[in-house]
Amino acid sequence: MAGSDFLSLRQNERELKRTAHILNIVAKFGMRSVVERIRIGEKLHLKVGWQQKENIEKTTEKARLRMLLEELATTFVKFGQILSTREDLVGQELADELAKLQDSMRPFPSQQARHEIEAQLGKSIKEVFSSFDDNPIASASIAQVHRAMLKNGKAVVVKVQRPGIEETIREDTQIMHYLATMLDKYVPEMKHWNPKLLVDEFERSIMKELDFQREAKSAIRMRDNFSGEKGVYIPMVYEHISTSRVLVMEEARGTRLSDVIRSNLGKYDKTLIARRGADAFFKMVLEDGFYHADPHPGNILVMKGNVVCFLDFGRVGSVDKELAMSMLRLVTFAVDNDPRGLVMQLSRMGLIDDGVDVEAFTEDMADLLDTYYSRKLEEVQMGHLLRGLFSVTDKYGVRSPRAFTELSRALFILEGVGMALNPKFNAFAEFRPYASRAAALAYSPKRLETIIRDNILDVEYMVKTFPGTLRKIMNKLESGEMKVELVHTNLASLAEDLDRMSNKLSLAMVLAAMVVGSSIVIGTSPTLGRVGFAISFVLGLWLAVKILLYRPND
Ligand SMILES: Nc1ncnc2c1ncn2[C@@H]1O[C@H](COP(=O)(O)OP(=O)(O)O)[C@@H](O)[C@H]1O
Ligand SMILES: [Mg+2]
């Protein structure tokens, strides 16, 4: 047996069973050949059934993958969902397909929820809550949410993890690591997906999401950032009764945004809600540098007075000032239809490698911007535009940094929500005041230092592109393709100049001859010599004045 293939799989009964189950489902979705090629069945002595779903060939590969993950549930649904936010890794099309994954699961028995809460808090339910609702209000792959009431009468929600979810996820990720290694080895056409990297990245994200203490901290930080804002609300976290697996929060009373979107009642001011949501998002990104990375309608409630309440801080992103300014500049160049500026900005961000054909890249950017430029700004979607930019960079093998694609994705989600609420919604309009504030900040004396640094980056851009340009010139020279064209612009005046110059030169030579001649004759014929010197002197003086006072247009 090839040892290294099995290092990552402990091969206990449970894991083998789960692996066989996974392979069965993979085959079911018409990927039998993949299972056969990684020869995993024989290696692990697994019996794999080859039952294929009817008509499965008719669906696209991407849709099949999404359905497969849905059927595998739990960890795999999370895997798909997390990857749907990582366009930088999976590309736009697959990301969009994976975004359709629904994360709702059959609830687990409330008895188990109570048990888990008690074990986590080290106290009985009765000691902490005066009432606890056994019917969950939501149930997803990681956790479910129950309403309850504290002893002091405050209404809360309790988000409690599925019992054993951490072990399940650990086990599944272990199997995923193993499968990724095998795919990498035996299915070369999968290489461009980089399955091992996908699983690594997934593991990192899911472990973060499993830690509710982290989520609690994020919620608290967000609440703090919005403490002064009237139109936005973030529920309070009861930290002293929260653990890494149980999160107790104040219950926000309101309507799910998805219901508000569907509602035809005049009760809600949808335009105001959309504006508040977008304003909040831009504040998070441009002022706080800390944003909700998953602002879909399931994570937003509308409270009394059209107050927008954000929930679920399992996925957050951070933006430093530099990143925010870079994003701002990208959008500005794009809006100004300035592909060169845009490419320069991408280069400043370190995205343009030496190998990239800057000219072709700029042309593609120009084409992209043209498709937007013919439209009015009110018709352009910002998230769409940014994603478009990154798909062009993708084409050139330039991997956009994760922070950018995550932020663009979040903006894209938010913009979709805004437009669902108000078809006329336009992120640019909401963005303007924040952009000008951020730009004002950009030119305040405090930022001078950064500007200087940025200009150094301009030089860096030149230095980066110069060798490439030079190389091209050298190649052309070598192959003899290089022609030099001279275009004369004012040859007539050059001829005149030459004429005048030669006159002065001959005069100088005559002068020199006269001086030498006069010196020779002065001994034998002093008068002639003196006359010669006198004439030389006058001529010399005239020549000297002419030279000293020379002006080009004379
Ligand atoms: N503080 C809260 N107040 C009211 N409802 C909440 C609160 N927190 C969560 N919920 C409800 O529970 C659902 C799931 O919570 P969420 O934190 O989004 O969990 P998940 O991470 O599983 O998506 C939300 O869509 C919302 O309906
Ligand atoms: Mg949620």
Taking only the tens place, the pLDDT of each residue in 285-294 is 988 999 999 9
| Residue 231 backbone zone (phi > 0: left; psi -120 to 50: alpha; other: beta) | alpha
Name the closest-CA residue to atom 14, ligand 1.
Answer: 138
Q: Per-residue confidence at 1, pLDDT binned at 50, 70, 90?
A: very low
Name the closest-CA residue to atom 16, ligand 1.
Answer: 312
**Residue bearing tokens 């003899």:** 480
> How far, CA to CA in Å, does 298 sit from each of 76, 288, 290, 528, 552?
20, 23, 20, 114, 78
Q: Is 311 in the pocket of ligand 1 (CB under 6 A)?
A: yes
Dist. CA 246 → ligand 2 center (Å): 15
Q: Is 128 in the pocket of ligand 1 (CB under 6 A)?
A: no
State mean pLDDT over 310-339: 86
279 counts as catalytic: no
Dist. CA 294 → ligand 2 center (Å): 8
Average pLDDT, the chain: 83
Looking at the predicted structure, is the pLDDT value of residue 155 above 50? yes
Considering the candidates 88, 172, 279, 294, report the single residue annotated as catalytic: 294
Point out the least confidently predicted range of 138-147, 176-185, 448-457: 448-457
Render 172-231 in DSSP notation, one character per residue: HHHHHHHHHHHHHHH-GGGGGG-HHHHHHHHHHHHHHHH-HHHHHHHHHHHHHHTTT-SS
**Residue bearing tokens 């110069």:** 466
Dist. CA 240 → ligand 1 center (Å): 19
Choose from 43-52, 148-157, 281-290 the range with maximum mean pLDDT: 148-157
For the CA of 257, the nearest ligand: 1
CA-based end-to-end distance of the chain: 94
Query: Distance between CA 223 and CA 233 in Å, rounded?
Result: 7
Looking at residue 554, its pLDDT comes to 47
DSSP structural state of residue 237: B
Name the closest-CA residue to atom 25, ligand 1.
Answer: 298
Neighbouring CB atoms inside 10 A of 173's CB total: 20
Query: Distance between CA 367 and CA 363 in Å, rounded?
Result: 6
According to DSSP, the residues that pair with 232 across neighbouring strands are 308
Instruction: Residue 463: name the closest of 352, 330, 547, 333 by CA.
Output: 352
> In 3-state terms, the chain is what percent helix, strand and coil (to 5)?
65, 10, 25
For the CA of 295, the nearest ligand: 2
| Gyration radius (Cα) of the chain, Å | 37
Looking at the predicted structure, is the pLDDT value of residue 507 above 80? no
Query: Distance between CA 401 and CA 404 in Å, rounded?
Result: 6
Domain range summary for the chain, segments of one domain joined by +: 3-105+167-208, 318-442, 500-548
Query: Distance between CA 168 and CA 74 in Å, rounded?
Result: 8
Looking at residue 19, its pLDDT comes to 87
The answer to whether 407 touches 317, Cβ cutoff 8 Å, is: yes
Taking only the tens place, the pLDDT of each residue in 455-484 is 555 555 555 555 566 666 666 666 666 565
For the CA of 147, the nearest ligand: 1
Taking each helix axis from N to C end, the angle separating 427-442 and 270-282, rounded to the nearest 10 degrees, works out to 30
| Residue 295, both tokens | 């602002």
State mean pLDDT over 503-528: 77
Instruction: Residue 323: name the closest of 394, 403, 434, 399 by CA.
Output: 403
Taking only the tens place, the pLDDT of each residue in 382-425 is 888 888 887 777 777 766 778 888 888 898 899 999 999 999 89
State mean pLDDT over 433-456: 58
> How far, CA to CA in Å, does 119 sit from each of 162, 215, 225?
13, 20, 33
Query: Distance between CA 408 and CA 416 in Å, rounded?
Result: 12
Dist. CA 292 → ligand 1 center (Å): 14
What phi, psi does 377 have (nearest 5°)?
A: -55, -35
Looking at residue 235, its pLDDT comes to 98
The answer to whether 209 touches 315, Cβ cutoff 8 Å, is: yes
According to DSSP, the residues that pair with 132 across neighbouring strands are 148
Looking at the predicted structure, is the pLDDT value of residue 359 above 80? yes
Q: Is 299 in the pocket of ligand 1 (CB under 6 A)?
A: yes
- As a whole-number percent, the residues of the chain with pLDDT over 70 amount to 85
What length does the chain have?
A: 554
Which residues touch 177 (CB under 8 Å, ≥6 apart)? 8, 196, 199, 203
Looking at residue 441, its pLDDT comes to 60
HEC states along 393-457? HHHCCCCCCHHHHHHHHHHHHHHHHHHHHCCCCCHHHHHHHHHHHHHHHHCCHHHHHHHHHHHHH
